[in-house]
């Protein structure tokens, strides 16, 4: 008889917590996507997004896809001596209840093997794939080659 209230509590947890887990990716959002125009099709271009994770578990960005580039991966900018270098960042963990903001000089999506130059004024789609959530596709506006942020055209 003493275990009865605990049994009720378990039922409560099952009914109210499991459905929240089932909504895979609903708590992850991708905001303020933007890209810089590429100088030449032979040079990589950069895109930036902010990933917001309202879940109570971390989310891990593992892959990116876009029709405009043969390859898209997250890079980070590191300083080696006096030289700024870009290196593949690998999977990006977005902390529970936190965010990862990409910006010039930091994390960015490097678009490589471009089909053609990416021009100011156009938009393209970018799909972000997560290890533990549904993929998210966003529409990315392209600003000038010197833009510093999504409001700076
Ligand atoms: Cu890069």
Domain residue ranges of the chain, discontinuous segments joined by +: 25-143
Taking 50 as the threshold, does the pLDDT of residue 120 lie above it? yes
How close is the Cα of 7 to the center of ligand 1, in Å? 53
The string of DSSP codes covering 74-141 is EEEEEEETTEEEEEE--SEEE-TT-EEE--TTS-EEEEEEESS---TT-EEEEEEEESSS--EEEEEE
Using alpha carbons only, what angle is made at residue 142 by residues 136 and 145, rounded to the nearest 5 degrees? Answer: 130
Ligand 1 center to 74 CA (angstroms): 7
Distance 47 CA to ligand 1 centre (A): 9
**Ligand 1 mean position, distance from CA 24 (Å):** 30
How many percent of the chain have pLDDT more than 90? 69
pLDDT in tens, 42-70: 889 999 999 999 999 999 999 999 999 99
Superfamily of domain 25-143: PCu(A)C copper chaperone (2.60.40.1890)
How far is ligand 1, taken at its centre, from the CA of residue 108, in Å? Answer: 6
CA of 61 to the centre of ligand 1 (A): 16
**Please, which pLDDT band fits residue 8 given cuts at 50, 70 and 90?**
low
Distance 51 CA to ligand 1 centre (A): 18
Q: Which residues contact 116 (CB under 8 A, 6 or more apart)?
A: 41, 68
79: pLDDT strictly greater than 50: yes
């Amino acid at each position: 008889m003493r275990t009865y209230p605990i049994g009720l509590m378990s039922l409560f947890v099952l009914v109210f917590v499991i459905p929240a887990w089932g909504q895979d990716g609903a708590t992850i959002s991708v905001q303020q996507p933007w890209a810089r125009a590429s100088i030449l099709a032979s040079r990589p271009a950069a895109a930036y997004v902010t990933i917001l994770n309202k879940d109570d578990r971390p989310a891990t960005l593992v892959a990116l896809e876009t029709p405009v580039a043969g390859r898209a991966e997250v890079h980070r900018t590191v300083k080696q001596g006096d030289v700024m270098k870009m290196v593949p960042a690998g999977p990006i963990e977005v902390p529970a209840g936190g965010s990862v903001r990409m910006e010039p000089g930091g994390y960015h999506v490097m678009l490589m093997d471009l089909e053609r130059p990416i021009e100011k004024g156009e938009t393209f789609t970018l799909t972000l794939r997560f290890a533990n959530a549904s993929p998210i596709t966003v529409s990315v506006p392209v600003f000038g080659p010197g833009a510093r942020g999504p409001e700076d055209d």
